[in-house]
């Protein structure tokens, strides 16, 4: 397992790679029990992230392996299919996950998303259009949605 931290336009970001997959992305510097060194997958991840942050990329092409429950995995799979520049409500994601009453569970799955941005949990908003919840703060969520020129 390897991890590396770089400064980006939205602050320091740490990316973790394990066995050829990206497993975590942290906004901020994170120290873990692993090798603090980059490799080709981490470098490619940062390259794609920088392209995204500068408006040159709308979709990531990376091997992702987030760890979570079956429900969390289902929600994260749905998030991967929300197009760039669009949003869905927690209720809409819950319905796509098979239970339109599971909005809070969707919120919890979003909060526990280990690979934010690459798995775009920032594209999920409240039913009234409010930017509710984001593990790294509403300011970052707003910046990401503004970057994607999403109408709020």
Q: What is the pLDDT of residues 49-83, one digit of tens each?
A: 999 999 999 999 999 999 999 999 999 999 999 99
- Lowest-confidence range among 28-37, 76-85, 141-150? 28-37
Long-range CB contact pairs, 16-21, < 8 A, 24+: 17/41, 17/42, 17/45, 18/65, 19/65, 20/63, 21/63, 21/64, 21/65
Catalytic residue, candidates 121, 124, 125, 144: 121
- pTM, two decimals, is 0.92
- 121 as an active site residue: the answer is yes
Is residue 129 a part of any domain in this protein? yes
Task: Kindly state whether residues 106 and 47 are assigned to the same domain.
Answer: no
**Which pair of structure tokens corresponds to residue 98?**
């098979």
Overall domain count for the chain: 2
Checking if the pLDDT of 152 tops 50, the result is no
Residue numbers of the domain that contains 11 = 2-53
The C-alpha angle 73, 105, 109, rounded to 5 degrees, equals 40
pLDDT band, very low/low/confident/very high, at 129 (cuts 50, 70, 90): confident
| Residue 34 to residue 50: CA distance in whole angstroms | 24
């Amino acid at each position: 397992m390897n991890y590396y931290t770089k400064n980006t336009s939205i602050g320091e970001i740490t990316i973790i790679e394990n066995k050829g997959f990206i497993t975590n992305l942290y906004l901020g510097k994170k120290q873990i029990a692993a090798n603090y060194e980059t490799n080709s997958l981490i470098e490619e991840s940062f390259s794609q992230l920088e392209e995204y942050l500068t408006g040159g990329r709308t979709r990531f092409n990376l091997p992702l392996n987030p760890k979570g429950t079956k429900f969390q995995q289902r929600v994260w799979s749905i998030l991967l299919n929300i197009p760039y520049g669009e949003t869905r409500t927690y209720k809409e994601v819950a319905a796509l996950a098979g239970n339109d009453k599971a909005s809070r569970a969707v919120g919890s799955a979003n909060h526990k998303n280990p690979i934010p941005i690459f798995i775009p949990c920032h594209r999920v908003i409240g039913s009234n259009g409010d930017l509710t919840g984001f593990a790294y703060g509403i300011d970052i969520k707003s910046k990401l949605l503004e970057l994607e020129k999403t109408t709020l």
